[in-house]
Structure 1
């Protein structure tokens, strides 16, 4: 029993399988007289339809409600991904629409997927000329299949979208076998919009995180003049695969010498033994109890960015829960926050321009502290050019190296114990840029706080995880006369709570797991006279029967509530699901012209 309990305590990522119980039926028809006519065969059951999977997000674009019709639509491809594991990505040639008139100034990527059959969750990426524009998970699919769709604002990549005869690639490693027979069909299109008639789309991004959810921190008020990928060669996808802490992704890039501003956009996702890294126990606990556990290295991960060996950015990634993780029934049909459009993270690197404007190539490096197999990381450089100058001058101001503080408290006896990790990091960077517009100094201050607590109780059969990430970033631009030109502030808070209880079943190879999950995303962005906020809260409770390390049955109920407030108004959406059925999905919208009603509505939520 102890062996079963030890394993079940760590069985947090499960591939969903099905079981068809056989029922013994007595032969009642043998008791009837021989002259009795045989019973007619039962009518065939109607085929069950595929189920729709949804992610609860505000609509795109949220700055103009209701959403207008697109100016034109560019269909990119329809493609079926079957046995594509270890195969090169699908690659086509992209060219823009030449007859999209009047000229567009806003673009939205439309993704539609469908699986006819059973399939596990898969990770996928889309690149345009090597620049990643989307990272996504597919949903878990049962025997009857599933379908889903979502949109993403890609206006920030406008300089690429206007180019002709460049590569468009999609990587989706799927496996089709006797157990998972689902072929994943994907359709991709771009919807182009034209501002006008009082519409103001803008180019929004959720702080340093999600692009699609509606909060904007002004990082991409205008699309960059040039977007350069920091990516791999592309034969196995353009992302770098990092399998342990000692491995890094590295690329040398030459920056145009008339660059006046630079923003790095980081894409990252975690898989395998680090798919739920925030629940991993420390190695001391594993070794002391002689456990055969591959999810190791504790519950602290940081993704970092270096230029020529100098640390310029770091991130504790948002805990995306894939559609097969912890309890797969929790994400049917409502998937986890950010599961379909994974977040990217932005870093204002303008203070470091003086290191890059020498006409030479420079190394950009990514790594993950305490990483285990495996992480997928790449990035994009968004460059704003001074078209009136051949060369821009830049210098470093007063900069303060990142201050790093981490505290670990481990206390355990046999299989029970507690493990706490607290981390705080602050940094300041400053640099001036002299262009045709004048001399301006950019100051960036960032504070990151991380806390994770894991408890094992009841001989290791009960596990509780509590985690919270808080981040605050302030970007100030001042003139050479000391006048404030712009000020942008972003604040984010991401609490996570997970409870797992494993109880042995009636047979030695069967156990019952109960789960409770709560994930929150709270972000606020403000600058100038505008303020935008988003609160997205998801809760789920359920149970599973596990046999021979596979889930054979289970159920869960999930509730989610989203509240958004921005310059143009507000949006709210509430959804509930139970036993795989969507019971509630309601939303409401208010315009900025009705701010009073807007405040009343939000206070009532």
Structure 2
């Protein structure tokens, strides 16, 4: 296997100590092998997608040497062959690349509204390709508008050493029909509670029962208006947060007939904070005289403010990019969320009483304990009362204390242990008076976070264990106190990384790593239930010089399951040294 040069502009420079190489890192993988398809395990698989009513290619571009250049922008117009209304819209992202290249972060925006946050896979000499499909039905009101700009940012470097060019095609798939795209295991009966999910819409216009993959049952219609909370677009529409003290903001004026508001938050972490969950405290770095800026401890929380007041926050899922920790783990099956990074919804409806005054309000985004650098922006989804020009609103209860954070540390030299425990509970209630009557929304949520880091053997053996649990309840009632809808969400993001590093006299070192991470989520809305269980385990070793992998062996297994009232789907995949050895999927429910 060939030895490769390392482009240090995107990497951290450390002193050559055991700590440096027991820290998670980014690497380039060895070249070699045949052309191969990469993938992220998710539901629904592309092979089970129905035929769309029409397809609409919206982007086709090659990203070569794009570093320090403006993002690529092209005009957007709605499809002419299948006009609205659409029951579903899917974004299909196709990419291919060959040569040597690092993984890159990328995003797609329409009129400044982010549609997809993704990262690239690291290519081979023979080439790789992959597809990402994402349900983007919630942006339908935007797809209706002509004369918009579609923008994609993917900063890449091409020179004598790094030859990989990313060729990207993006297509929208529009569906006019309603369908269930998998074997139905029980007769589908609409949930009585969900039939009255949206009193404004049921009063002002007819409502459709939409059966969507990913959430079987009745779904609410997309927002009437989506406002981006983003940068000016000259360097992409994401804000770049480089320190905790700096929050990024934009002034927004909300239409006065808004009766519901949900902020969708997009987040990714890079540079010194790419592996924030493994960062030691600054006291450890200073005491040992380490030449690294990857500190500030192992807790991060992304928060949203309105006029300087925190209205919501999220601890992000620790996505591992394809060059992270050990790139041999992520071929051809990438880590959870690497191709389709998650976004996070924050229900702002109870705060409408503060912002429905016809004035500008400042929406901000920041990162607790964040260091360089984070890419963040948000989409504000608004539902409008079309039978009223002004909706009156007022907050009733706002219980939102600061996050409780406890830290413990004990170390001697390069060996030591560090604990971070955090928790938060909030409850917010507000009402709006609409053309359909009084609607009161209560949002209750909380989370607990635990992170444990241990260094042993003079820092050459490092263990990271992290647990995150979150719960959210949204209750909406009418003026008589009768339930309109209820939503319950529970999430768990456990993570474990063990790294053992051995150095050799020729300047190379061997890294043996064991990684386990997963996503466990459950959604309950009325009588509709959806659960996802996605577990990935990787282990292996690599011989490294600088940031280039010379050789190694790796294996990854993934067990994915999706269950709702109508659909059961599971897929079990195992890969060894870049080859799929097992891939079994079924739509049969386990009893």
In the superposition, the TM-score normalised over structure 1's length comes to: 0.88
Deviation (angstroms), 1:142: 2.4
Deviation at 1:16, TM superposition (A): 1.1
SS of 2:403's equivalent? strand
Look up the match of 1:573.
571
Matching residue of 2:42:
57
Q: Is the 8 A contact 2:261 2:348 kept in 1?
A: yes
Deviation at 1:216, TM superposition (A): 4.5
Partner residue in 2 for 1:241: 240
Instruction: Check the 8 A contact 2:543/2:552 in 1, yes or no.
Output: yes
Distance in 1, Cα, partners of 2:84 & 2:226: 24
Report 1:134-173 matches (<5 A): 134-173=116-155
Judge conservation of contact 2:43–2:214 (CA < 8 Å) in 1: no
* 1:196-242 CA-partner distances (Å, limit 9, x unpaired): 3677999xxxxxxxxxx965499962100011101110010000001
Root-mean-square deviation (Å): 2.1
CA contact (8 A) 1:351 1:432 kept: yes
- 1:511 and 2:509 equivalent? yes
CA contact (8 A) 2:447 2:469 kept: yes
Tell me whether 1:6 sits opposite 2:50 in the alignment: no
Asked if the contact 2:27–2:547 (Cα under 8 Å) also holds between the matched residues in 1, the reply is no
Aligned to 1:222: 221
**Aligned counterparts, 1:348-497, within 5 A:** 348-497=347-496
> 2: distance between equivalents of 1:110 and 1:497?
32
Query: The residue matched to 1:163 in structure 2 has which SS?
Result: coil
For residues 392 and 468 of structure 2, what CA distance do their matches in structure 1 show? 37
Distance 1:586 1:141 in 2: 26
Give the Cα–Cα distance (whole angstroms) in 2 for the partners of residues 491 and 94 of structure 1: 37
SS at match of 2:454: strand
What is the deviation of 1:118? 1.5
String of CA shifts for 1:48-106, please: whole Å, max 9, x gaps: 63221111111169xxx953211110011221000001111111110111221684221
Q: Which runs of 5+ in 1 are unaligned?
A: 20-46, 203-212, 591-597, 601-605
In the alignment, what sits opposite 1:552? 550
Task: Provide the residue aligned with 2:101 in structure 1.
Answer: 119
Alpha-carbon offset, residue 249 of structure 1: 1.1
Deviations 1:89-130 (A, max 9, x none): 111110111221684221000000000212110000000011
Distance 1:490 1:401 in 2: 19
- Distance, in Å, in 2 between the alignment partners of 1:581 and 1:478 is 53
4+ aligned runs moved over 3 Å, structure 1: 196-202, 213-220
Contact 1:118 1:144 in 2 (8 A): no
Farther off after superposition, 188-197 or 429-438: 188-197
Which whole-Å CA distance do the structure 1 matches of 2:16 and 2:307 have between them? 49
What's the counterpart of residue 209 of structure 1? none
Residues 1:85 and 2:58 aligned together: no
The equivalent of 1:15 in structure 2 is 27
Cα separation, 2, equivalents of 1:123 and 1:198: 33
TM-score (norm 2): 0.90
| 3-state secondary structure, aligned to 2:318 | coil
Secondary structure at the aligned position of 1:397 is classed as strand
Aligned-pair distance for 1:402? 2.7
Q: Distance in 2 between matches of 1:448 and 1:198?
A: 34
Q: What's the counterpart of residue 100 of structure 1?
A: 82
Assess if the C-alpha contact under 8 Å between 1:259 and 1:386 holds in 2: yes
Contact 1:118 1:145 in 2 (8 A): no
Instruction: State the number of aligned residues.
Output: 550
Q: Secondary structure at the match of 2:582?
A: strand
Q: Match of 1:129?
A: 111
Note closer, same or farther for the CA distance 1:217–1:496 as it changes in structure 2 (3 Å cut): farther
- Secondary structure in structure 1 of the residue aligned to 2:350: helix
Question: What is the CA–CA distance in structure 1 between the aligned matches of 2:362 and 2:286, rounded to whole Å?
Answer: 38
Task: Quote the residue 2:521 is aligned against.
Answer: 523
* TM-aligned CA deviation for residue 403 of structure 1: 4.4
- Native 8 Å contact 1:267 1:378 kept in 2: yes
Structure 1 residues 371 and 544, CA, compared in 2 at 3 Å: closer, same or farther? same
